[in-house]
Amino acid sequence: MELARRLDLLGTETAFAVSAEAREYALTGAKVYPFHLGDINIPTPENIMDAAIKALKEGKTGYCSNYGIGELREVLAEDINRSHGTHYTLDNIAIQPGGKPVIGKFLLTLMNSGDEVLYPNPGYPIYESLIRFYGGKAIPYGFKEGENNFYLNIDQIKKRLTSRTKLLIFNNYQNPTGAESPHDELLQIADLVKENNLFVLSDESYYDIRYEGAPESIVSLPDMEDRCLILYSFSKKYAMTGWRIGASVGPKYIIDNIAKLNVNDESCTNHFIQYGAIEALTGDQSGAVKIIETFRKRRDKAHEILSSIRGIKCFKPNATFYLFPDVTDAMKQMGLADYNSFRLEALHKTGVSFCTRLHFGMPLANENRYYIRFAYSGINVDEIEEGLIKFKQFLEQ
């Protein structure tokens, strides 16, 4: 049977292909150091598991509301209001099976065929995939290297705005760069959004994965609450990636339509798991604190070794669990001019497995540096040290 033509437009997360390659290589008996996938090898805190198991045993096994259970929506609204200074109620929240489904539902609710959507590149690859799949025009914007971090290329965003631009996807605390916008950068983006009458998807998957200082959201800026939909995720903060629970948070007229999409799609998010999410938000937070402390130790070790390697420049981001070093000079020293040979050479000589910039979109026209991404969420400190020392020796030999 001939497949539907629309499938030609659908992209994927090519990081999963890197996992498959690493798995295959490990089958030969070789040791692999998994820096490629942003999954977490830390168990979900015990109190969250207990709450979900209790709900399961108490019979929360039928369908629930397509918006999610009221109690969870209430405590999530309160939690976001506390951290964002917003004014949400349960009417502003539709629970989703993960943060990821918010991306597609945002586009289906607000984007018409041919509308232009600005999205970050390098960035989470699902943005571009779904903009194209649902008939929009995907317009990438990039980053610039600052002294200590990456910054948004605001001039590029300005140049790429047209009368057809309707939506902006913004991922502060960014995958893959780890970049975070300082307050005045957030203000500049908010001004552009208001001047051009845009609507924003604020992907806040890593809002709480920060090592110092309080996070800040674009949603908290004046007049932005009505112009933003938050992608909220339980995955990273509470090590709940496989539970599949998140939320769409925004104006009621949008939430009501997302809830309608939920009915047509999954009916409702897994019922008993929502009780685990209530415990995550309202119960003992020591599990979440331990998770962040574990990530911090990993970040410090990975950054210490990577930044000591000749030919590598590596920022130390204050957010996310990613490092995005510039490896241009290291590749030059090795006489390698393409990402894939560099990645495979490193995997086969050292077992260190990572994604490259290409897994987060095609490089933009003005880009002339090479980057790779190390995720340290799924690998312990001793293995980080062992793997990266091998990587250093391999590059410097």
**Residues lying near ligand PLP in the complex (CB under 6 A):** 38, 98-100, 124, 171, 175, 203, 205, 233, 235, 241, 246
Shortest reach from residue 237's CB to ligand PLP, in Å: 10
Shortest reach from residue 13's CB to ligand PLP, in Å: 8
Q: Which is nearer to ligand PLP, 98 or 142 (CB)?
A: 98
Shortest reach from residue 2's CB to ligand PLP, in Å: 31
Q: Which residue is nearest to ligand PLP (CB)?
A: 99
Shortest reach from residue 240's CB to ligand PLP, in Å: 8
Shortest reach from residue 102's CB to ligand PLP, in Å: 8
C-alpha to C-alpha distance for 25 and 147, rounded to whole angstroms: 37
- Cβ–Cβ under 8 Å, residues 391 and 343: no
Q: Which is nearer to ligand PLP, 40 or 395 (CB)?
A: 40
Q: Which is nearer to ligand PLP, 124 or 391 (CB)?
A: 124
Shortest reach from residue 119's CB to ligand PLP, in Å: 11
C-alpha to C-alpha distance for 158 and 168, rounded to whole angstroms: 12
Shortest reach from residue 280's CB to ligand PLP, in Å: 13
Task: Determine the Cα angle at 371 with ends 365 and 375, to 5°.
Answer: 135
Q: Which is nearer to ligand PLP, 189 or 395 (CB)?
A: 189
C-alpha to C-alpha distance for 86 and 228, rounded to whole angstroms: 11
Q: Which is nearer to ligand PLP, 98 or 136 (CB)?
A: 98
Shortest reach from residue 184's CB to ligand PLP, in Å: 23
Q: Which is nearer to ligand PLP, 205 or 294 (CB)?
A: 205
Shortest reach from residue 206's CB to ligand PLP, in Å: 7
Shortest reach from residue 233's CB to ligand PLP, in Å: 3
Q: Which is nearer to ligand PLP, 255 or 330 (CB)?
A: 255
Q: Which is nearer to ligand PLP, 207 or 342 (CB)?
A: 207
Q: What is the 3-state secondary structure (H, E, C) of the chain?
A: CCCCHHHHHCCCCCHHHHHHHHHHHHHCCCCCEECCCCCCCCCCCHHHHHHHHHHHHCCCCCCCCCCCCHHHHHHHHHHHHHHHCCCCCHHHEEEECCCHHHHHHHHHHHCCCCCEEEEECCCCCHHHHHHHHCCCEEEEECEEECCCCEEECHHHHHHHCCCCEEEEEECCCCCCCCCCCCHHHHHHHHHHHHHCCCEEEEECCCCCCECCCCCCCHHHCCCCHHHEEEEEECCCCCCCHHHCCEEEECCHHHHHHHHHHHHHCCCCCCCCHHHHHHHHHHCCCHHHHHHHHHHHHHHHHHHHHHCCCCCCECCCCCECCEECCECHHHHHHCCCCCHHHHHHHHHHHHCEECEEHHHHCCCCCCCCCCEEEEECCCCCHHHHHHHHHHHHHHHHC
Task: Identify residue 30 by its one-letter amino acid code.
Answer: A
- Cβ–Cβ under 8 Å, residues 72 and 390: no
Q: Which is nearer to ligand PLP, 125 or 136 (CB)?
A: 125
Q: Which is nearer to ligand PLP, 15 or 395 (CB)?
A: 15
